[in-house]
Amino acid sequence: MAKEPKSFLVSTANFALKYNGEVVCTGTTNLNTSIEVTMEEQNVNAGKGNKLVYSYKYGREFGVTLETANWDLKYIAANVGTDIAQTLAERYVIGECVTLTSYVGTLPKTPVGKVSVDLGNGTSVEVTATGTTIDLSTYSAIIGDNKTVNVTYCYDATADQLIIDASTSPKVYELILDADKHNNQLGKIGSVQIYVPSYQPSGNFNIEFTPDGVTEQRAA
């Protein structure tokens, strides 16, 4: 007897979010792309024994969870509802190691304001840089034979910036999911695409940093 062919949807689905006809972001390294359809139910019980005579189904809701392993600021923007902008603003270097030559060190970037220097023995001082140079000869007795110090300072740079405020809400997107379709006799035979014409992210997300893990993102 010949085997009955069966089809399966395997692994996670890739996704694309579109807004105003343009692709906003895509996800291809996903951990979870789940669909949940729920309905409320009102049972009608009547007659002898109060048996169930009818069940009224209503309030169907369609939910999608998108969770991806890679980091992309676009996923945060989709949840927040604001746009990413390139702007010149203050950035921070924290605890950077700087090598000293005759108690003078060169910083990779030009600081704005004071430079906080950890001298390595629990003592921290603030110094003013000349360009990218810091002179710590005043503290030679404390530094001793140490050839490195750790510095923290602020500098100006252009970078992507996303503002999370209290007044915006997520935009409404088009969502396309693409999942692989397999057959028990032929292997992969194609894909199944699911189109959601009106999809609004929940606006809720967590960013967790752990010492033994990789940060995951709830994309939408």
The domain tally of the chain equals 2
Whether 157 and 169 map to the same domain: the answer is no
Whether 100 and 195 map to the same domain: the answer is no
37-57 pLDDT tens trace: 999 999 999 999 999 999 999
206: left (phi over 0), alpha (psi -120 to 50) or beta: beta
Whether 168 and 101 map to the same domain: the answer is no
Whether 96 and 137 map to the same domain: the answer is yes
The whole-number pLDDT of residue 146 equals 79
3-class DSSP assignment, residue 181: strand
Mean pLDDT of 167-177: 94
Nearest CA to 55 among 66, 46, 68, 47?
A: 46
- In the predicted model, is pLDDT for residue 132 greater than 90? yes
The whole-number pLDDT of residue 212 equals 75
Q: What whole-number distance in Å separates Cα of residue 176 and Cα of residue 21?
A: 12
Residue count of the chain, please give it: 220
- In the predicted model, is pLDDT for residue 219 greater than 70? no
The whole-number pLDDT of residue 5 equals 84
Whether 116 and 213 map to the same domain: the answer is no
- In the predicted model, is pLDDT for residue 104 greater than 80? yes
Q: Are 47 and 53 in contact (CB under 8 A)?
A: yes
- In the predicted model, is pLDDT for residue 217 greater than 80? no
The whole-number pLDDT of residue 149 equals 93
* 112, part of any domain: yes
- In the predicted model, is pLDDT for residue 161 greater than 70? yes
Give me the residue label for tokens 């967590």: 206
Q: Which domain holds residue 120?
A: 86-161
Nearest CA to 152 among 89, 104, 98?
A: 98
Contacts of 1 (CB under 8 A, 6+ apart): none
C-alpha of 179 from chain center: 22
Whether 121 and 138 map to the same domain: the answer is yes
The whole-number pLDDT of residue 153 equals 96
The whole-number pLDDT of residue 1 equals 57
Whether 72 and 180 map to the same domain: the answer is yes
C-alpha of 19 from chain center: 19
- In the predicted model, is pLDDT for residue 22 greater than 70? yes
Q: Are 56 and 41 in contact (CB under 8 A)?
A: yes
Percent of the chain at pLDDT > 70 equals: 96
* 19, part of any domain: yes
The whole-number pLDDT of residue 54 equals 96
